[in-house]
Amino acid sequence: MLRISKFTDYGTVILALMADNPASTHSAASIAQQVGLPGSTVSKLLKMMNRSGLLTSCRGKQGGYSLAKAPQEISLADVVEALEGPFGVTECSRQNGLCQLEERCAIRHQWQGVNGVIHNALQQVSLAALQQPSTVTGAPDFKANA
């Protein structure tokens, strides 16, 4: 399926929650409780997003996580890449040498174009946009002639 993993989905939910109070720090436990997911899962996600640079962390009492950047500057593309690695709609559009058809494939370049378009789409949706109701609409504008 052309689908993001549940983890990434959860990640966006968590980040959206944190974006409500961008200044304060949030502990894994409190986030888990608010969002209704098992603590261990939330903890794992926070660790991953921290390692990818989306969050900053502090240990000890009063510790927790907070957003590394302003909500306007974190996009869905950032979250996807943080939790799922390099962006690629097809195996082939992400990196060379992964697809056995690469040599004789006539449409590889086209998929890379599609990949760019979708990546771009996700880049234009920030955490801040997620908080506002129904801001994400509109059809993409292609130069594809057909």
Partner DNA sequence: TAATACAGTACCAGTATAGTCCTATATTGA
Partner DNA sequence: TCAATATAGGACTATACTGGTACTGTATTA
Binding site for a second copy (CB under 8 A): 1-6, 8-10, 12-13, 16-17, 35-37, 72, 76, 80, 84-85, 87-92, 99-101, 104-107, 109-111, 113-114, 116-118, 120-122, 124-126, 128-146
Q: Hey, what's the torsion of the CAs at 17, 5, 50, 36, to 10 degrees? A: 40
Collapsing DSSP states into helix, strand and coil, what is residue 75? strand
Please, which residue, 55 or 127, has the CB nearer to DNA? 55
C-alpha distances in Å from residue 16, one per residue of 34, 107, 138 = 12, 37, 22
Backbone φ and ψ of 113, nearest 5°? -65, -45
- The DSSP symbol for 4 reads -
What minimum distance in Å lies between the beta carbon of 34 and DNA? Answer: 13
Binding marks (x or -) toward ligand FES, 1..40, rule CB under 6 A?
--------x---x---------------------------
CA distance 29 to 107: 47
Q: Which does 50 bind (CB under 5 to 8 A by kind): DNA, ligand FES, a second copy, none?
A: DNA
Contact flag: residue 136 with ligand FES (CB under 6 A): no
